[in-house]
Copies of this chain bind each other. A is one copy, B any other.
Amino acid sequence: MGVLKVIGIGPGSIDNMSIRAKKAIEGSDIIVGYTKYIDMIKELVKDKEVYSTGMMGEEARCREALNLSKDKNVALISTGDSGIYGMAGLILEMKNDEDVEIIPGITASSSAGSVVGAPLMHDNCNISLSDLMTSYEDIKKRVRLAAEGDFIISLYNPRSKGRDKYLKECIDIIREFRKDNTPVAVVRNALRDDESYKLFEIKDFDDSIVDMMSIVIVGNSKSFLKDGYFITPRGYACKKRDAMK
Contact = CB atoms under 8 A, between A and B. Distances in A.
A208 to B, nearest CB: 25
B121 A124 contact: no
Nearest to A97: B227
Contacts of A119: 83
A122 interface: yes
Interface string A148-160: 1111000000000
Contacts of A15: 18-20, 23
B238 A93 contact: yes
Contacts of A148: 145
A124 B84 contact: yes
A106 to B, nearest CB: 5
A81 B104 CA distance: 13
A92 B114 contact: no
A101 B70 CA distance: 44
A118 interface: yes
Nearest to A146: B149
A126 interface: yes
Interface string A1-37: 0000000101000111111101100000000000000
A93 B234 CA distance: 11
Nearest to A143: B149
Contacts of A123: 125-128, 134, 142
B16 A84 contact: no
B237 A113 contact: no
Given A83-B114, A91-B118, A145-B146, 5 more contacts: A88-B114, A89-B117, A92-B229, A93-B226, A132-B236
